[in-house]
Copies of this chain bind each other. A is one copy, B any other.
Amino acid sequence: MALAHPSRVLLLSSRSGGPQMSKGLRRSRAVPSRSQMSSMSARNASVTCLPTATVDVDLGERSYPIYIGSGLLDSGKLLRQHIPGVTALVVTNDTIAPHYLDRVVAALSGDGDIRVEVVVLPDGEQHKTMEVLMHVFDKALETKLDRQTTFVALGGGVIGDMTGYAAASYQRGVHFIQIPTTVMAMVDSSVGGKTGVNHPAGKNMIGAFYQPKCVLIDIDTLRTLPDREYASGMAEVVKYGLIRDAEFFEWQEANVGALMAREETAVVHAIKRSCVNKAEVVALDEKVR
């Protein structure tokens, strides 16, 4: 049951894998039509959006929820219940900031009861270094953030890893929230607590295991995700089906079209099942240790 039959691998390959898959994705629009996204538009910061799905990552005292849905970036209430202090530092990059930063800052601030600081890092894996990470500490100290502060990662895997490690290290550990904006970060980086930066001699050589207080996945952010990155994230989703969830794999086969078209219901389900699978693996790993 845990492993998909090899013939299914071939079946998927012939329908949506390899070159054909990327070809199909290139045809799909990065920004879906208004009708497709109607449920995601026309909202403001005062609206309370509820998650369509929640995955609980069970790690004893370090357990946390992953909220998945549309329009969640504006759900200040949802975010603020995980902020114990009166300050937050949003860490993002210069690609994501123009699209979503203002909304996240507004949601976190509430009626001004939380002071929100921002640091914008350059986008790209080549900037995942200790040198760039120091800008986060600089900003946190410059704005006098204390031990009760919360670091909020708004971006893909690089931003998530760097912000997590900064949160693990700032004053020996502050609170941490993840808002992933790529499929890969949603299904992979949001579970497992792996954080860190690269060293010239190797990737992720310096880091920490550090769990967030919550992960907020707003699938609307995928609207601005380039096809190529969407495809590589979906390849990760397919992997969970292949490796350990035959039922999920069957569902993927039946919903390839909807996934490629980035249809909300399908995307939420795919991300939820992937997170559930990874959470199970991580929880097992912890027990074995």
Interface size class of A (residues with CB under 8 A): 20 to 34
A41 at the interface (CB under 8 A from B): no
Q: Chain B residues near A206: list those with CB within 8 A.
A: 137, 169-170
User: How distant is A165 from chain B, measured CB to nearest CB, in Å?
Assistant: 8
Q: Which residue in B137, B170, B196 is a CB contact (below 8 Å) of A172?
A: B196
A173 at the interface (CB under 8 A from B): yes
A209 at the interface (CB under 8 A from B): yes
A82 at the interface (CB under 8 A from B): no
A11 at the interface (CB under 8 A from B): no
- Interface positions of A from 163 to 188, Cβ below 8 Å from B: 165, 168-173
Q: Mark A188-221, 1 if CB is under 8 A from B, else 0.
A: 0000001110010110111111000000000000
A111 at the interface (CB under 8 A from B): no
Distance A170 CA – B134 CA, assembled complex (angstroms): 17
Q: Chain B residues near A169: list those with CB within 8 A.
A: 165, 169, 196, 206-208
13 contacts between A and B (CB under 8 A): A138-B199, A138-B201, A141-B201, A141-B202, A142-B201, A169-B169, A169-B196, A169-B207, A169-B208, A172-B194, A172-B195, A172-B207, A173-B208
Q: Chain B residues near A282: list those with CB within 8 A.
A: none
A130 at the interface (CB under 8 A from B): yes
Distance A142 CA – B199 CA, assembled complex (angstroms): 11
